[in-house]
Amino acid sequence: MACGGSSNVPVSSFRHAEGGSHASQISADNTIAVVSTIDNGITVWDLTTNEQRFVWQHQDDGNNSVTNIHIAFDNSYVVTSDREAFALWNLNVGEPEGFWRIDESSIRDIAVSNQGRGILVGRGSGKAMFFEPSTGRRLEFLGHQEKINSVDISPNGFYALTGGNDYLAYLWDTRTGQVIHKFEHTSRVTKVSLDDQGRYAFTADSKRDARVWDLVTGNEVSNLQYMARQRIFTVAVFSDDGKYLLTGSPARRINRWDVNTGKELDEWRVSAREGSKPASAVVHSVGFMNESEIISESSSGLLEKWKIENE
């Protein structure tokens, strides 16, 4: 553990999925969690009271295979997807507002902007689709030459970040399809994330490079410093003040980084899934609760809160 480490005992934990989860996301303000459970559909939780608000079914047959979830920055809508279809849900009333099936290729990742105005879909064909449910407008971004692995969208829906197996990540304008910045890697890009305040982008590949970029200039701010030959990231979130980055991995690991230097500041390990051998869990979602506490959701089906001890 870096810098003397942080306590690996959570401050508190709540079970959100008895049998574990396929995917989950915590809202930007840490008040809502949406969990794709293995045995009970999609559940929506109020994190201020830890009460379940809604239970959703993506398909009529009762089998839940939703692996992608994204909550709009303003908590108005949620998009969920399996490999073949995506749904838009109104978070205020808990009802679906649309369900769309993709004919060509598979859905790899998905994101939604404020008020559900725009949905971004990354596909295995290498095409990214930006779709406006209210108007029916659809724009296809054809910049990638191979499958897309990760997407994110700005809260206002004007800017998309996509990364793929062609070693590239693109920041592009959803109104015109024009590329704003191209971020190059030496291996396939496995994770991308936008700072909700519009300052930074995070792009990580399958080997050694996990970079923070300045969204105005397109220049590199830092490259995360770690000893391992490779690290895969499943989630990345910037703090409100822009000083820190919080990441999660498939290997139970949560880390906090200094955005300007790329230095690792803290490490935590989420609880393993019950009965898993070796002990394992995928970190699905993370968030900064305040200056001294973070929050996580993982495939173990647990929401856990952790203390930041290295200031």
Adjacent-strand bridge partners of 195: none
- State residue 256's pLDDT score: 98
């910037």: which residue's tokens? Answer: 238
CA angle, 214 then 216 then 219, to 5°:
40
Query: Minimal CA–CA distance to 180: which of 149, 224, 210, 213?
Result: 213
pLDDT for the residue numbered 58:
83
In the numeric block, the tokens 């978070």 are attached to 91
Low-confidence ranges of the chain (pLDDT < 50): 1-4
Tokens in use for 108? 């790899």
Closest among 71, 106, 117, 78 to 94, alpha carbons compared = 78
pLDDT at 2: 41
H or E element: which one contains 274?
none
Q: Looking at the DSSP assignment, which residues form a beta bridge with residue 126?
A: none
pLDDT of residue 64: 87
215 and 203 Cβ atoms separated by less than 8 Å = no
pLDDT score of 133: 97
What confidence tens digit (pLDDT) does each residue in 244-286 have? 999 999 999 999 999 999 999 999 999 998 777 788 999 999 9
Q: Determine the residue type at 184.
A: E
Q: pLDDT per residue over 11-54, tens digit each?
A: 999 999 999 999 999 999 999 999 999 999 999 999 999 999 99
